[in-house]
A and B are shown apart, each in its own frame.
Chain A
Amino acid sequence: MKRTDRTQKAGFAVSAALLLILLVCSFVSSLLFGAERINVRDVFVRTGGDPFARIILVNLRLPRSLLAALAGMLLAGAGAAFQLFFRNPLAEPGIMGISSGATLGAVAAGSFGAVPVFWNILSPVNTGAFFGALISGMLVTSLAGKRTGSSATVALLLCGTALGTLYSAFTSIILLLRDRELHAMYVWMLGSFSGRGWNELRFIAVPAVLAIFLLTLSSLPLDLMAGGERTAASLGVDIRKLRLLVMTAGALAASSAVCAGGTIGFVGLIAPHIVRRIFGAKSRALVPLSMAAGAVLMLVSDTLARTVAAPAEIPVGVITSLLGAPFFISLIFSDKGLRNG
């Protein structure tokens, strides 16, 4: 069946190429569209032309779009990895309580102002979010690691959920005590790239690249998890190491993404499902393809967030939820269901 194999490969290549083109298009359009209309030519002329065009495109939209694309990649990659590792189509980066931990870190740092502006680059809120996510991810990984075998995975999920609820409770307490920051923090929790740019990119560059590298590295063994942990072990996967790898990558990815844009939901959950819809249940390639899909999703959402109600902005987390929830519901009721291609 070499011919079918080749046509399948060709079909895959075409779809992948289209996805990449879509990524480039969404990036370019995020640069072209925004609250203010700009004439692209003005960006490149030396004299004359609207002076703000270049500022807006290069100083404001460019770093923001890069950040959005990166955050989308991180969330989607982590979501895909978690779905494969836990064999659960509902898994997503926040599953371990990481999002709640990020929120707690952000709220605590913002309210108590104890965290000094990190290397003069980041605001206390962002720094708090990053470390809140990282610490909660590490905490749940080490707690669950006390058990061995597949019960460790169950322990991971349960601990994550329980701790996530605990962090939310602490967050609520802090917000009730410090109600001056209430409004601002609620808006932060909706997720937004407004006011973020080069500083955030510089800060998350290292952990983000590391996370992407680790996630891609785990692509192959993650496929083997499909038959269960015992089957994967029999095929040569060191489950303990894979768990550590995936959780670390996930925590780094989620922390970086939260630092970039706050807690943005649904992207990590539905990007892998979009990929499955287009490519079928794709072995080996789900993680990198999801990253591309996640970047597209985030760029489109952020562009909409900036243009739909201009000059006001809608928090991007609202857009991703508005787009994501109906799509997910349609997946559940479709013939193919959630595990299928």
Chain B
Amino acid sequence: MADTAHTHILSTENLYASYGSTTVLHGVSLAVRSGEVLCLSGPNGSGKSTLLSLMAGIVPDSLRIDSAGRQPSFDGVQLSECSRKQNALHIAYMIQDEQSAWNYTARDVVLTGRYAHTVSGLYSQCDRDVTDSVITAMGLEAIAERRIFSLSGGEAQKIRIARALAQEPDMLLLDEPVANLDFSYQAELLTLVAQLAHTKNLGVLVSIHDLNTAARFADRLALLPRNGACITGTVEDVLTAENLSAAYDARFGVFRHPVYGCPQVYTTSAGPVQNDGVTDTVEGYVRLPPEDHVSPPEDVLTELPRL
């Protein structure tokens, strides 16, 4: 059950995992706490999806965990020791590009989020009430009775988030939830997710390959390179030219977002990095010192959806 007072932690330490002979996770340490949004970024093939899946307690096919200081655990309890239902009570996990096999109604899809709470094999009135409240809270009444094949990508994604919320979890794990969506949906969904983290005390771990989007919405950032340990910290600490160049094998520059004030990145070349550590300044993008943080204008704020 969701707990607004308590602080939970989903963490793993020094995790090594491989598919066959290929090592995919090299000593990854990661911790997600209640009330914060931790964005996970990294190049393709760095193992973001694998890591996310493991943090949800689901071991992907033919993956072998080689060793770990601590395997993924929720509040100290190892996920692999608990049953699926027990894990589902605390952790909600959305995979990338989910396709539904059957044309269920949106409401039925959200209701399935209550499965972990069922005992007798039937959904109770309480389950239906929770479903209703989640749908209402997210403003999805209009599409609740429609069939999911008829929903747009963004609408379907919102339904899946509603399903995840119906689980009443403590942790929300999202694998590239906005990768194929329009800009408007991207902002809307991620703002919603951030609000959930802050107001409902959810711990959110979301993998976003777009660094700039990640930087905008993250409280903390985790950068997962292809062959190496995970770099975690605040957005300011992680998003440096050195870290990025090492992780992505390209030259980066960092600037400050003119409206939101968070660090944003740009690439200067696709080739390998010369180890000079100098960041470039490109005309038109003004690199502001940290203390000259500009707060976004009022009217921009009011455009964001209220929940």
The residue of chain A having its C-beta at the shortest distance from the C-beta of B132 within the complex is A2
Contact of B145 among A1, A221, A226, A231 (CB under 8 A): A1
* Bound CA span A265–B89, Å: 42
Number of interface residues of B (CB under 8 A): 44
> A199 — which chain B residues lie within 8 A by C-beta?
none
Q: Which of B100-141 contact A (CB under 8 A)?
A: 100-105, 107-108, 111-113, 115-116, 118, 121-123, 141
Contact indicator B115/A221 (Cβ below 8 Å): yes
Is B147 interfacial (CB-CB < 8 Å)? yes
Contact indicator B107/A220 (Cβ below 8 Å): no
- The interface residues of chain A, by DSSP majority, are classed as helix
Is B77 interfacial (CB-CB < 8 Å)? no
Contact indicator B61/A149 (Cβ below 8 Å): yes
* Bound CA span A242–B87, Å: 17
Contact indicator B122/A220 (Cβ below 8 Å): yes
Whether A228 contacts B99 in the complex (CB less than 8 A), given A5-B145, A149-B61, comes out as: yes
Interface string of A250-277 (1 = CB under 8 A from B): 0000000000000000000000000010
Is B244 interfacial (CB-CB < 8 Å)? no
Contact of A237 among B62, B84, B92 (CB under 8 A): B84
> A235 — which chain B residues lie within 8 A by C-beta?
88, 112-113, 115-116, 163, 167
> B167 — which chain A residues lie within 8 A by C-beta?
235
Whether A234 contacts B61 in the complex (CB less than 8 A), given A224-B115, A227-B98, A281-B103, comes out as: no
Contact indicator B84/A226 (Cβ below 8 Å): no
Contact indicator B61/A339 (Cβ below 8 Å): no
> A234 — which chain B residues lie within 8 A by C-beta?
56, 58, 88, 91-95
Contact indicator B147/A283 (Cβ below 8 Å): no
Q: Which of A205-254 contact B (CB under 8 A)?
A: 217, 219-221, 223-228, 230-231, 233-238
Q: Which of B63-78 contact A (CB under 8 A)?
A: none
> A233 — which chain B residues lie within 8 A by C-beta?
58, 84
Contact indicator B103/A339 (Cβ below 8 Å): yes
Contact indicator A341/B147 (Cβ below 8 Å): yes
The residue of chain B having its C-beta at the shortest distance from the C-beta of A7 within the complex is B145
A-B contacts, 10 of them at CB < 8 A, read A8-B145, A149-B59, A220-B123, A225-B101, A231-B94, A234-B58, A236-B87, A280-B147, A281-B104, A284-B108
Interface residues of B (CB under 8 A from A): 53, 56, 58-62, 83-85, 87-89, 91-95, 98-105, 107-108, 111-113, 115-116, 118, 121-123, 141, 144-145, 147, 149, 163, 167
